[in-house]
Amino acid sequence: MENKNKELNPKKNKRKIDIKAIMNMDLGIVKQKLLKNLKNTKQTNLSLKKRKVIAFDMGSSTIKIVEGLYYKNSLTIDKYIKIPTPKDAIVDGEIKKEVELHKKLSQVLKENGIKTKDAICTTNSSLIINREIMIPKVEEEEMETVVRYEIQQYLPINLEDYILQGTILEELEVDGVKKLNVRVIAYPEKVARGYYNLLLKLELKPYALDVNYNAVNKFINLIGITKEYENNTNEAVAFIDLGASTIDVNIYKNNQLDFTRIIKDCGNEIDEMLRESNGLKSNEVEKFKNSNIDLSEEFEPINIKTRAIVDEWIEKIEKIIQFYKNRNKGNEINNIIIFGGSSKIKGMEKYMTDRLGIMTEIKGLSKIAFKSNDDGKPIDDYINAIGSVIRHE
């Protein structure tokens, strides 16, 4: 488990509250939680060792797998694997068909000769709650009690059903009273339980559980991607994952996650439209989409239908961006980076740039910042999995 006194970004002087930590947590802690022994068990501070890990980015349409090593600020990725997720096996980040999932992953691990045992899962879900709350400034040993009390006032949830993690964003003074602005993540225990049990059945050692926007945060800090955009403290960069079942909008400022939202629109809508209008089979859709759709070609019927779907996405993305800007006056988003399956639709970058009025691009993500034993493979599909490999002492 990561040392709770260290930050993901050591340059930032932000303290972290380790409340049954979720973002970079040793899943042994989850095991204790699931066994209902957490209150009676001391959390062991496991120092990081030089260990290779296998990371699973668990999506509803595809699962991305990487095998790699992060040690002393050096990252090496040995294998990249992408497979289709068994139908309806993962819904909104939650495992629904463990048997089918276990069978598929067992086969893939065997076929690729993967012997690594320490395993990480990363995912995202609308079930994961992300909130900023303001609390009185208290001593560190009182932090958990205060955060749990305050989050209960904000959210009508049973905290026993969630694993909480909090990060202090800033200390400030309000009407002469010292306060802490804290981001709290509430991760459903049943979702964590599902991944923990799956890894055990795969005869893997559960090592860590991550959330996609946190994995992306670590990845972009590693390769320094936000530095080339942020010219002042009010500018932010939006990373938008155009996935199969959701669109994840994550906004980063000063190398830290500043805002996140999930849109329940997705690339599956385009796939379904293509199946219905062109009589395509499921295994034919991806190839057809990449070869025949071009958002810059205005008059082709298939492009008109696709643009209508994308326009709905953009309208919702625009509302999120506007809400973010209104939330803190002066906030600006001057660049958007898109990735995920639907980002590859021809003309998507320019189409979003024109509609949103914000420069949108599929960033040429460089492997220069880390070692890779497969230098010919594009890595934008593997950002979440690669980022989750990065563990800090």
**What dihedral angle (degrees, nearest 10) is formed by the CA atoms of 193, 198, 204, 207?**
-30
Reported residue count of the chain is: 393
pTM exceeds 0.85: no
CB distance 54 to 204 below 8 Å: yes
What pLDDT is stored for residue 33 in this prediction?
A: 52
Q: What is the mean pLDDT of each run of 10 residues along the chain (393 residues)?
A: 35 42 44 44 45 94 93 88 94 95 97 95 90 84 84 83 82 86 87 94 92 89 70 78 89 86 84 86 83 89 93 96 86 89 91 95 70 73 91 64
What pLDDT is stored for residue 18 in this prediction?
A: 40
Report the first-to-last Cα separation within the chain, whole angstroms.
8
Three-class SS of 182-248: EEEEEEEHHHHHHHHHHHHHCCCEEEEEEEHHHHHHHHHHHHCCCCCCCCCCCEEEEEEEECCCCEE
Domain 230-362 falls in which CATH fold? Nucleotidyltransferase; domain 5 (3.30.420)
What pLDDT is stored for residue 197 in this prediction?
A: 93
Domain 129-188 falls in which CATH fold? Dna Ligase; domain 1 (3.30.1490)
What pLDDT is stored for residue 35 in this prediction?
A: 52
Question: Domain extents for the chain?
Answer: 129-188, 230-362
What pLDDT is stored for residue 158 in this prediction?
A: 87
